[in-house]
Amino acid sequence: MDIVKNSNSCRYTGYRILYDAKGCSFSDYDEYLTNFDVAGKYDVQAYFGPKPKHGIQIVSGCSKYIVPGNDAIFGKIEFMAETDGETDYGPFFFEVVVRVQADELSSMANTIDELLRYAESRREEFKNVIYLVAGIIGLRFQRQFVLEPLNENALAWLDNAPSQNACTPFLECLELISINEHGIKFLESLKQPFASLSIDVLREYSLIFHWLLRAWQERDPLHEFIALFVPLEALLTKFTDLKMSTDNKSKAKSIRTAIEQYAGSNTHELILFFDKLINKAGPTLEERFVDIATKAKLSGWESDIQAFKKFQYMRNMLLHGRDKKVEHNITIREEEARTLQNIVERYVNFCLFRDNNVYRSRWCPSIDEVKD
């Protein structure tokens, strides 16, 4: 373990993403390296060529899942400066590295391990900077440069000597699932409903499950979190039919009256414009969820509403930007993605089957039946 010899040692921390730029090259260079100062805060290095500055890590023989009763294969990592032509990767790569000086750590971070942990704690911040640079390269050059991310590593430097972490991909621990006679009966019970579906309803239901299936396959909690809103929004649009509240109708009537009294010659034009705005101002996603949760009254439905409001806020901050007057640090933990997944699954199930018999797992071990 490397120790910082004194508090004046030059310490940096950062992150890198290495892309396998398949089919790409430079016409006039074997390799190209350049640096950017981003926002006066981040030192960003972009490398194109066969020998990435922080090397290449090839992971092989790794299982994707841990299945109870079977041996998990954690695979191996090979480190190389450039590919040898015998792998499926390379020979041309695009590497983006971001780093900052770790001044605020003072003398507390005395080891490479501590600097790497600090880099991991700022991972999403660093990755956002990388996404800006990589995204522009993909947009202006070609998406092939950034189509295949190969390695992601937290980085640390002591007196300009770089170190990085490395690990095989995480393995998801599965459960042993056995379909019993009750499951067979349910499967057979689908025959009549399937046969009676109209083409339009088939399309609507298929859209919901198309996006739910894609969300299930996401392994990154952030990507899963964002993806889960798509089937939920499709569901709520189909199964809720909210009308304007009595209070809002009264307010709209008052506005129309004011227009008629004070708009003069523009009255007709302004009334038409106001009516158009009213027609477009449908219920929000949050209002739709509150409506369906209140009607369903599944076990814990009040907690579901509070959780959904929190998740909707987090999603809006991630997608639509943040209030400049407020300091935000939005990260999505695995527990939050799992909670949202559980909510989406239960309400999709309720809207289709009018019960709470969604599958059981260690993530949702106890589910009460819906009481009429």
Give residue 178's pLDDT band: very low, low, confident or very high (50, 70, 90).
confident
Q: 112 to each of 17, 29, 115, 154, 294, how far by Cα in Å?
A: 20, 35, 5, 11, 52
Give residue 372's pLDDT band: very low, low, confident or very high (50, 70, 90).
very low
Q: 179 to each of 122, 183, 184, 187, 359, how far by Cα in Å?
A: 44, 6, 7, 10, 11
Q: 97 to each of 53, 119, 129, how far by Cα in Å?
A: 9, 12, 9
Q: Which H or E run includes 82?
A: none
Give residue 6's pLDDT band: very low, low, confident or very high (50, 70, 90).
very low
Q: Is the pLDDT of residue 102 over 70?
A: yes
Q: Is the pLDDT of residue 267 over 80?
A: yes
Q: Is 143 helix (H, G, I), strand (E, B) or coil?
A: helix
Q: Is the pLDDT of residue 337 over 60?
A: yes
Q: Which residues are CB-contacts of 140 (< 8 A; sequence separation ≥ 6)?
A: none
**Between residues 279 and 188, the one the model is more confident about:** 188
Beta bridge partners of 155: 14, 164
Among 63-67, 80-84, 213-217, the range of highest mean pLDDT: 213-217
Among 26-35, 252-261, 320-329, 360-369, the range of highest mean pLDDT: 26-35
d(CA 176, CA 178): 7
| Whether the Cβ atoms of residue 229 and residue 347 lie closer than 8 Å to each other | no
Give residue 72's pLDDT band: very low, low, confident or very high (50, 70, 90).
confident
pLDDT at residue 14, as a whole number: 97
pLDDT averaged over the chain?
87
The count of other CB atoms within 10 Å of the CB of residue 209 is 13
Query: Residue 183 phi/psi, 5° resolution?
Result: -65, -40
The one-letter code for the residue type at 143 is R
pLDDT at residue 326, as a whole number: 53
DSSP one-letter code for 355: S
The one-letter code for the residue type at 316 is N
- What is the residue extent of each domain of the chain? 11-164, 179-242+283-353, 246-280
pLDDT at residue 109, as a whole number: 58
Query: Residue 142 phi/psi, 5° resolution?
Result: -175, 140
Radius of gyration of the chain (CA): 27
The count of other CB atoms within 10 Å of the CB of residue 340 is 27
How big is the CA angle at 170 (ends 164 and 175), to the nearest 5 degrees? 165
pLDDT at residue 331, as a whole number: 79
Q: 56-62 and 149-158: which strand pairing? A: unpaired
Q: Is 136 helix (H, G, I), strand (E, B) or coil?
A: helix
pLDDT at residue 107, as a whole number: 59
d(CA 273, CA 210): 38
Q: How far is CA 285 from the centre of its chain?
A: 19
